[in-house]
Amino acid sequence: MNDSRDSMRDQDFVRRLIEELEAGRPVALCTVLATRGSMPRGAGARMAAFADGDFMGTVGGGRVEQMALDRALALAAGTGEPFLEWLTMETTGMACGGDALIACDLLGRVDLDALRDAQRPNAQSQPGVYCESWEGGAHHAEVLSLDELASDDSRATLEAPLWDEASKSYAEPLGSDPVAYVFGAGHVSHALVPVLASVGFRVVVYDDRPELAVAERFPAAERVLCGDFRSLGEQVQVSRRDYVVVATHGHAADIDVLERIAPAEPVYTGCLGSARKSAFARGVLAKRGVSQAWIDSLCMPIGDDILAVTPGEIAISITGEMIRRRAELRPVRPHEH
């Protein structure tokens, strides 16, 4: 995800906002909703201004920040107005750089409730979304868990903030960053884990064999867990934002893992095996009541078709497929239209 400083994932930043509002002091909050060109801070960067002239956070510095801060301080002092507009090179008088879409609002009761929700321990650890909208010009904020979002709601799989111009809405992911769960600690996983880590995936390895589920074998993994595949939920909580690679020691174990992670509908799930084995697994999952739509979404056989043979080659093919899936989920920036 993006830099979490001065965002809704920054607990110190959110805590200060809550303290100011609970004390009855006005707070004007500036948020970078989107950018075009080269900007020091991207979407999600925030800056708060207070009635006493103090402020915290940054939306990138320079002329853009100074213009936003002056207007935010006036809003907090009761002499300014909320705004949602592009601060461009033309309006700032800058000869180079980029543009930023910035919203500035005077926070109220509904924001305090949302901030408290964002500060709760489960919001900081379990994935959710901080949602804001300006429909009709009025600002509204709320925190939604992934369970509250429809299966086809793109906000559930966000890894970075997203501004939607048509609906005048903004979504910022909360909670821990997505995890790539690798079920199975054999030769392919041993080759795969360092490659995934090298391209920015947080990796957790899980296997039921104590002699293989050893941290020393996977120094690039954040965690290495050992347990029965049929009770994996006791140690891991897979979410819709996560990635899953299934490469256990046998067909039965693969199917056990797939069946147990199916309710979470991870953003990517791939399973090692031949076309024949994949067809068999799909049939068993269907008989066990797993959603056909989810079964159809599985990358099984896993990996891009690069005629991979060795564990190292297979690791590259899997990583390539996961990189592509991750890229597909990135929001389209205004300058990319």
Q: Could you state, in order of their start, the residue ranges of all structural domains in the chain?
A: 11-174, 179-327
pLDDT at site 5: 85
Q: At what angle do helices 311-329 and 187-198 cross, to 10 degrees?
A: 40
pLDDT digits (tens, 9 = 90+) for 173-183: 998 889 999 99
145-169 burial: b if 16+ Cβ within 10 Å, else e = bbeebeeeeebbbbbbbbbeeeebb
pLDDT, tens digit (0-9, with 9 covering 90-100), for 50-107? 999 999 999 988 888 999 999 999 999 999 999 999 987 666 555 456 789 999 999 9
Please give the Cα distance from 34 to 47 (Å, whole number): 15
Model confidence pLDDT, tens digit, residues 183-236 = 999 999 999 999 999 999 999 999 999 999 999 999 999 999 999 999 999 999
**At 336, is the pLDDT very low, low, confident or very high (cuts 50, 70, 90)?**
very low
Closest of 84, 102, 112 to residue 17, by C-alpha: 112
Sign of the dihedral through C-alpha 71, 75, 81, 82: positive
CATH topology of domain 179-327: Rossmann fold (3.40.50)
H or E stretch covering 85: strand 83-87
CA dist., res. 145 & res. 130, Å (int): 9
| pTM, two decimal places | 0.82
Name which of 224, 304, 297 is nearest 266 in CA terms: 297
Structure tokens given for 120:
């709760």
| 279-320 per-position pLDDT tens digit | 999 999 999 999 999 999 999 999 999 999 999 999 999 999
- pLDDT score, position 37: 80
Question: CA of 215: how far to CAs of 31, 65, 71, 229, 233, in Å?
Answer: 41, 45, 52, 18, 20
Whether residue 136 is predicted with pLDDT greater than 90 in this model: the reply is: no
Q: Which position has the higher pLDDT, 83 or 120?
A: 83
Q: Specify the pLDDT at position 125.
A: 62
Instruction: State the pLDDT at residue 2.
Output: 53
